[in-house]
Structure 1
Amino acid sequence: MKKLLASAALATATLAMSALATAADYKIDTKGAHASITFKIQHLGYSWLHGRFNTFDGGFSYDADKPEASSINVEIDTASVDSNHAERDKHLRSKDFLNVRKHPKATFVSTSIKDSGNGKMAVTGDLTLNGVTRSIVIDAEKVGEGKDPWGGYRAGFTGTTRLKLKDFNIEKSLGPAATHVEMVLDVEGIRQ
């Protein structure tokens, strides 16, 4: 009986270790400019204002055979907001919007990933922005993965989400058409 229990324990441990061995850790390739965090918001209901965050970092763990066991974390330098207009960017950094003096970083840490099939997934996680942490869902899709020309291995994803400004204590009124901001996240990771 002891041998049977020992064999079962060894088999369970081996299976658990082999499952862990298939997950891989990736560093988001921000240095090679193969990742971006962009946004758009309506301006008075007449047009779209586009912008981006130029400085961010992070990584993810990904297992193609078990996407629900994957995870992602990102840290954004909020002062790096760039809407291609210096005066507007100064205002975006102020207490009216991102309040970068008090909250210089925004973070996203995934809490669960639901595989929807065909490379699509719903990534749920905690976004901390302007001193407020809320659970959000990013609709994500795998773009591709494989070897790169320099002997490494890469995986890339794209994702979108829509944030209500007031949920993150951004109370400045931009008119009834500008209560939400649409975010697009494109990440390419280098396997470590």
Structure 2
Amino acid sequence: MALLLCGALLTACGQLLSGHVYTELPTLKPGNYRLDPHHTTVLFKVEHLGISSFVGRFNQSQATLNFVDSDPAASTIVADVEINSLDVNRPDFAQTLVSCDWLCSEEHPVARFQSRGRANVDGSLLIFAGDLTFRGVTNPATLAVTINGATTNRLTGDYTLGFEAKLEFLRSRFGMDKFIPAVGDNVQIEVFAEFIRQ
């Protein structure tokens, strides 16, 4: 009986903490949003030996989103990743990867995506054309963003927007062509994040 009562109380608390989730883009609050570093994961994936994917993450990133509810295509985004925050679960190998044989973090500590022009909108998907700057080289790139919805976090009072994004690029176009094709040319970036309205 006591376990059932505790379970019911925990369920009730969880429901109290969860506000109503708005999922349609026109119902979301407009304005400037900043990435919540405590609820953000930035992953990368690259093919290895043609038989598997090598996956790692970057632990430090920043981003701002200017969301326009009346015209979501007019929204803009800028996102930075700190290259030295690379995490591949092996510190010695991470040091090899951030060297200038690969990511070259000493000379180019930040990779940036910056949108330009109007986004394409399809439901909750915003496709941003923009520029990716990586290893001191800038090339066009596309960031596909799915906005999962928004709600007010009742613990903090913050209006919070849930966000997933994908970006792909050829590393050879940024001067990093070592060991192709044993290590794949195509790099896939996946972001799972929350943005807080400022």
TM-score interval for Structure 1 and Structure 2 normalised by the shorter chain: 0.7 to 0.9
TM-score where L is the length of structure 2:
0.80
Structure 2 unmatched ranges of 5 or more? 1-28
Does the 8 Å contact 1:55/1:80 carry over to 2?
A: yes
Alignment deviations for residues 20-49 of structure 1 (CA, whole Å, 9 cap, x no partner): xx731011001xx21121111111112111
Does the 8 Å contact 2:177/2:185 carry over to 1?
A: no
Counterparts of 1:114-125 in structure 2, within 5 Å, are 114-125=119-130
* C-alpha distance 82-113 of structure 1, shift in aligned 2 (>3 A): farther
Secondary structure of the residue aligned to 2:184 is coil
Task: Indicate whether 1:25 and 2:32 are aligned.
Answer: yes
Q: CA RMSD for the aligned pairs?
A: 1.6
Task: Indicate whether 1:89 and 2:91 are aligned.
Answer: no
Give, in whole Å, the separation in 2 of the partners of 1:117 and 1:128.
Answer: 26
TM-score where L is the length of structure 1:
0.82
Secondary structure of the residue aligned to 1:178 is strand
Structure 1 unmatched ranges of 5 or more? 1-21
- Number of residue-to-residue matches in the alignment: 169
Give, in whole Å, the separation in 2 of the partners of 1:121 and 1:163.
Answer: 18
Give, in whole Å, the separation in 2 of the partners of 1:51 and 1:64.
Answer: 34
List 4+ stretches of structure 1 deviating above 6 A.
Answer: none
Give, in whole Å, the separation in 2 of the partners of 1:112 and 1:119.
Answer: 18
Counterparts of 1:1-192 in structure 2, within 5 Å, are 23-30=30-37, 33-149=38-154, 150-176=156-182, 178-192=184-198
Kindly, what percent of the aligned residue pairs are identical? 28
